[in-house]
């Protein structure tokens, strides 16, 4: 098989590895400050629909469409983040899950989103280097945050929010920052995703997708940036490898989630554990 | 000496049970002030009131003349009150140096853009902070473990790290909740020296401690709580001779020092 044929067959898959790497990074950002939010799939959907409508209905250039998609999910995240981030734990997870459902139902019933049929004939504008650049940009941004007082504060909030506040850290604005930045990344990923899949339907961004994204981050681990990237790649490639087991995909992901939580609580990318292996060998 | 912290008529209730009843005390700048009393007397609850975790049902708290009532814990901390915890609350999965640097959060004044561009102000501030954090770890004798995870430290060392993290906040008032619990005599002496050196820097310390030798040898003034009430106040000398205090401690160790 020559290069062109290979790319024709696998380009969607390769681009998806990058896009879902971004999604896993976006949820790892909120997880890194101890917030279990399940709205990332919905933010991806908002970014995807806004940018696809921009290129199809309004004939805007791709760059502007991506920008609009990113801004769209960012603004929505600001609006819902303000009230919702007062919650924590299971209540926060439920509230964000509920928000995801609201988005899905809106996409299903609005005229501009094409209702249940979704959007079709979206131009194929996403190039491999667009995805690579967005992914590298995301990694750079998150790495800058990690190596600053903000990253340390995120970690402190995750470990003991009360102690963090007693160190003078204003936890609410920082949580909002994590949530909104995660939503921006998801919105951009959505915009990129829409312009290589040709079609969008509301079902692409529902509960199932939210759980997939969470599984990616938990499987890879959130102790470092390679973790979510690894998890994103594995969960994206798994259905291709296990083609015959398509129907059991959700079950397989659920099983992975359980096994990881039980046996690899820090995920696959757990440096102290990896160093331990090498020492023993 | 000017008054730094002033509590007047503080009361606190938990579902009808009075944990604190009309407690008043004041700490002056540069003072080491002791808070003692039997288990359940309400000492930790008083710290929780001062740091904004609990709200009093009555009373007033003033710090540098301003009321702290209704102010959020993070803002009270920003005004210059740092604390340690009786049941240690470190960031266990972070390194020692990162724990201390979390304490410096509000003093690391670079902007979001500096952080993204990794500009000079950002790099300078981070390098300085790291140096200061190491100096603080040295001061409490933990610099050899700077890059270990806080959760791997021994109990006594965790208490020392909590003090270093609190000092990183550059507070004017330091609240220590049983700082030498679980420490051996040598470590206790080290902490005593450390606290004296803080006084020399004009930092004020309010400390809770059950070890009477430690308290009596260190504090300039004391308040004794029993069942949420102040039963005695004054110099270590006067407290040790106070009949009410001796009665409260009857059946426990009678406070005798030296
Ligand atoms: N959050 C809470 N809810 C209900 N009761 C509480 C709470 N915190 C403290 N109490 C009660 O208030 C009283 C004072 O407790 P506190 O922890 O302040 O005592 P303490 O003097 O620090 O004791 P110790 O020397 O054992 O640490 C106790 O009777 C305790 O059970
Ligand atoms: Mg106590």
B113/B196 same-domain check: no
ipTM field: 0.92
B65/B184 same-domain check: yes
Q: Any chain B CB within 8 A of the CB of A78?
A: no
The tens digit of pLDDT for each residue in B233-243 reads 999 999 988 88
B131/B239 same-domain check: no
Nearest one of B210, B112, B107, B26 to A151, comparing CA atoms: B112
Residue B116 located in a structural domain:
yes
- Inter-residue contact A134 to A192 (CB < 8 Å): yes
What CATH number does the domain containing B74 carry? Answer: 3.40.50.300
* Banded model confidence at residue B136, pLDDT cuts 50, 70, 90: very high
Which of the 8 DSSP states describes residue B169?
A: T
- Mean pLDDT within A19-24: 97
Q: Any chain B CB within 8 A of the CB of A264?
A: no
Min distance A188 CA to chain B CA atoms (Å): 19
Cβ-based contacts of A167 with chain B (< 8 Å): 74, 77, 82, 102-103, 105-106, 165, 169
B183/B254 same-domain check: yes
**Domain end (from B112, B144, B168):** B168
Sheet containing strand B58-63, edge to edge, reads: B17-28, B3-14, B58-63, B66-67
Cβ-based contacts of A165 with chain B (< 8 Å): 72-74, 77
B213/B150 same-domain check: no
Distance CA B94, CA B100 (A): 10
Distance CA A163, CA A165 (A): 5
B132/B243 same-domain check: no
Q: Any chain B CB within 8 A of the CB of A139?
A: no
Residue B85 located in a structural domain:
no
The tens digit of pLDDT for each residue in B69-95 reads 999 999 999 999 999 999 999 999 999
Q: For residue B22, what pLDDT is reported?
A: 95
B16/B59 same-domain check: yes
The tens digit of pLDDT for each residue in A111-155 reads 899 888 899 999 999 999 999 999 999 999 999 999 999 999 999
**Domain end (from B114, B137, B168):** B168
Residue B107 has pLDDT above 80, yes or no: yes
B196/B164 same-domain check: no
* Banded model confidence at residue B151, pLDDT cuts 50, 70, 90: very high
Beta bridge pairs of residue B81: B173
- Using CA coordinates, name the residue in chain A closest to B110: A149
| Number of structural domains found in chain B | 2
Q: Whose CA is nearest to atom 30 of ligand 1?
A: B40
What spacing in Å lies between the alpha carbon of B204 and ligand 2's midpoint?
20
What spacing in Å lies between the alpha carbon of B84 and ligand 1's midpoint?
16
What spacing in Å lies between the alpha carbon of B155 and ligand 2's midpoint?
17
**Domain end (from B168, B196, B220):** B168
Q: Any chain B CB within 8 A of the CB of A86?
A: no
Residue B159 located in a structural domain:
yes
B46/B103 same-domain check: no
Cα-flanking dihedrals φ and ψ of residue B200, to 5°?
-60, -25
In this complex, do B115 and A150 lie within 8 Å of one another by their Cβ atoms?
yes
Residue B125 has pLDDT above 70, yes or no: yes
B10/B118 same-domain check: no
pTM for this structure? 0.92
Residue A67 has pLDDT above 90, yes or no: yes
Cβ-based contacts of B116 with chain A (< 8 Å): 141, 144
Min distance B142 CA to chain A CA atoms (Å): 20
Helix (H, G, I), strand (E, B) or coil at A83: helix
- Inter-residue contact B78 to B52 (CB < 8 Å): no
Full set of structural domains in chain A with CATH: 3-280 (1.10.3470)
- Mean pLDDT within B175-199: 94
Beta bridge pairs of residue B242: none
Tokens (6 digits) for A102: 């609201």
Residue B132 located in a structural domain:
yes
B160/B233 same-domain check: no
Count of CB contacts below 8 A, A vs B? 79
Q: For residue B257, what pLDDT is reported?
A: 47
Q: Any chain B CB within 8 A of the CB of A17?
A: no
Nearest one of A40, A74, A278, A29 to A174, comparing CA atoms: A29
Q: For residue A56, what pLDDT is reported?
A: 95
The tens digit of pLDDT for each residue in B42-53 reads 999 999 999 999
Distance CA A185, CA A37 (A): 14
Residue B234 located in a structural domain:
yes
In this complex, do A149 and B104 lie within 8 Å of one another by their Cβ atoms?
yes
Distance CA A253, CA A41 (A): 16
Handedness of CA B1, B3, B9, B15 (dihedral sign): negative
In this complex, do B89 and A156 lie within 8 Å of one another by their Cβ atoms?
no
Cα-flanking dihedrals φ and ψ of residue B244, to 5°?
-65, -40
Host domain of residue B193 = 1-80+171-258
What spacing in Å lies between the alpha carbon of B45 and ligand 1's midpoint?
6
B47/B101 same-domain check: no
Q: Any chain B CB within 8 A of the CB of A271?
A: no
The tens digit of pLDDT for each residue in B9-43 reads 999 999 889 999 999 999 999 999 999 999 999 99
Strands B32-36 vs B58-63: parallel, antiparallel or unpaired: unpaired
């Amino acid at each position: 098989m020559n290069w062109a044929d290979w790319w024709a067959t696998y380009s969607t898959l390769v681009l998806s590895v990058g896009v879902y790497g971004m999604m896993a990074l976006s949820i790892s950002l909120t997880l890194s400050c101890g917030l279990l939010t399940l709205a990332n799939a919905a933010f991806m959907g908002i970014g995807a629909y806004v940018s696809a409508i921009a290129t199809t209905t309004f004939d805007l250039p791709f760059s502007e469409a991506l920008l609009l998609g990113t801004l769209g999910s960012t603004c929505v995240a600001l609006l819902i983040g303000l009230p919702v981030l007062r919650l924590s734990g299971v209540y926060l997870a439920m509230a964000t899950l509920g928000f995801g459902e609201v988005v899905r139902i809106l996409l299903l019933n609005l005229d501009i989103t094409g209702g249940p049929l979704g959007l079709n004939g979206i131009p194929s504008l996403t190039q491999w280097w667009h995805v690579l650049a967005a992914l590298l940009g995301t990694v750079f941004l998150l790495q800058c945050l990690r190596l600053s007082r903000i990253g340390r504060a995120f970690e402190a909030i995750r470990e003991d929010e009360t102690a963090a506040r007693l160190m003078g850290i204003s936890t609410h604005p920082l949580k909002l920052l994590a949530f909104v930045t995660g939503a921006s990344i998801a919105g951009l990923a959505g915009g990129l995703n829409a312009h290589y899949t040709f079609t969008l339907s509301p079902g692409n961004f529902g509960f199932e997708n939210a759980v997939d994204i969470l599984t990616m981050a938990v499987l890879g681990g959130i102790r470092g940036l390679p973790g979510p990237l690894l998890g994103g790649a594995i969960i994206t490639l798994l259905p291709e490898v296990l083609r015959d087991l398509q129907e059991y995909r959700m079950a397989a992901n659920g099983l992975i989630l359980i096994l990881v939580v039980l046996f690899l609580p820090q995920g696959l990318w757990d440096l102290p554990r990896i160093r331990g292996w090498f020492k023993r060998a | 000496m000017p008054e730094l912290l002033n509590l007047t008529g503080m009361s606190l209730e938990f579902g009808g049970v009075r944990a604190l009843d009309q407690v008043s005390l004041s700490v002056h700048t540069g003072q080491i002030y002791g808070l003692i009393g039997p288990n359940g007397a309400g000492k930790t609850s008083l710290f929780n009131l001062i740091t904004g975790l609990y709200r009093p049902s009555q009373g007033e708290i003033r710090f540098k003349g301003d009321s702290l009532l209704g102010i959020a814990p993070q803002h009270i901390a920003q005004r210059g009150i740092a604390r340690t915890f009786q049941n240690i609350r470190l960031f266990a999965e972070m390194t020692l140096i990162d724990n201390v640097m979390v304490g410096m959060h509000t003093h690391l004044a670079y902007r979001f853009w500096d952080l993204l561009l990794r500009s000079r102000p950002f790099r300078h501030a981070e390098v300085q902070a790291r140096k200061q954090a190491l100096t603080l770890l040295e001061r409490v004798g933990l610099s050899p473990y700077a890059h270990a995870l806080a959760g791997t430290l021994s109990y006594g060392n965790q208490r020392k790290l909590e003090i270093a993290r609190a000092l990183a906040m550059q507070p004017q008032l330091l609240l220590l909740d049983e700082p030498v619990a679980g420490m051996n005599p040598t470590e206790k002496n080290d902490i005593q020296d450390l606290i004296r050196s803080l006084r020399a820097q004009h930092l004020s310390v309010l400390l809770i401690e059950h070890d009477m030798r430690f308290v009596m040898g260190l504090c300039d003034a004391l308040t004794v709580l029993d069942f949420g009430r102040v039963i005695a106040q004054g110099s270590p000398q006067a407290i040790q001779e106070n009949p009410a205090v001796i009665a409260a401690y009857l059946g426990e160790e009678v406070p005798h020092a030296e």
